[in-house]
Amino acid sequence: MGAGRWNVPRCVVCLGAVSLNGATAPGPPLMLELTMQRLWYTARSTCGELSVAGRIGPYTLELPVRDGLPGSAIPPGRFQVVLQPSPKFQASADPWVQKYASAMPHIVCPPRTLIMFHWGNFPTETDGCVLVGLSHDVDEIGGSREAFESLYALVHDSAAAGECWVNVQGGIPMQNNSGSVADALASD
């Protein structure tokens, strides 16, 4: 994990706590704004970095940027992150997967559905979701389960309270989250 990247202890400090001179006090979940900046594009994938308040967290891996529709990376825009069950992961027999399957961080990105942050290392391991990892190379990320655990710890309380958002930057023109991808593409 590179210098300045999230780690679990830093993430836990961010959860439902107010920091005063390094000390934390319990409090209600704070609104959490994540930024997902896309940086590297290939014919097979799109890679970027996830950050909060300027602190860079895990790398991201998505399908290639095309049109924002299924089979493509999600469009740029500001989207709410909520916790919802994942039918795909609820069917898994893996105990580690089962720990998260009933409350996965979903990115509310209409008209797309079931778009989640989750683990995986290659573009073949996503149908349109955003994979997270601690390292990256061309068309792959590594340390995905550890990165997901940190991200989950960071977003859980805010997402459960309806106070978590992700700003997706880079790729096709911005979507305002109130219209269609076609409308967003036509607004240039």
CA 160 to chain centre: 15
Nearest one of 86, 161, 157, 92 to 118, comparing CA atoms? 86
Q: How far apart are CA 178 and CA 111, in angstroms?
A: 10
Phi-psi region of 134 (alpha: psi -120 to 50; beta: other; left: phi over 0): alpha
- The conformation of residue 144, written as its DSSP 8-state character, comes to H
Go through 59-82 and write b for each residue having 16 or more CB atoms within 10 A of its CB, e for each that does not.
bbbbbbbeebeeebbbbbbebebb
Q: What's the pLDDT score for residue 30? A: 82
- The conformation of residue 141, written as its DSSP 8-state character, comes to E
Q: What's the pLDDT score for residue 28? A: 61
Q: What's the pLDDT score for residue 187? A: 35
Q: What's the pLDDT score for residue 174? A: 47
CA 47 to chain centre: 12
Q: Is the pTM of this model over 0.75?
A: yes
Q: What's the pLDDT score for residue 44? A: 95
Q: What's the pLDDT score for residue 67? A: 86
Cis peptide before 28 (omega within 30 of 0): no
Give residue limits of the domains in the chain. Answer: 32-186
Q: How far apart are CA 43 and CA 140, in angstroms?
A: 13
Query: How far is CA 148 from each of CA 5, 28, 59, 143, 161, rounded to the nearest angstrom?
Result: 13, 23, 10, 9, 19
**Would you give per-residue pLDDT tens digits along the chain (188 residues)?**
344 454 433 333 333 333 323 434 455 668 999 999 999 999 999 999 999 988 999 999 999 998 888 899 999 999 999 999 999 999 999 999 999 999 999 999 988 999 999 999 999 999 999 999 999 999 999 999 999 999 999 999 999 999 999 999 998 654 444 444 344 333 33
Q: What's the pLDDT score for residue 26? A: 52
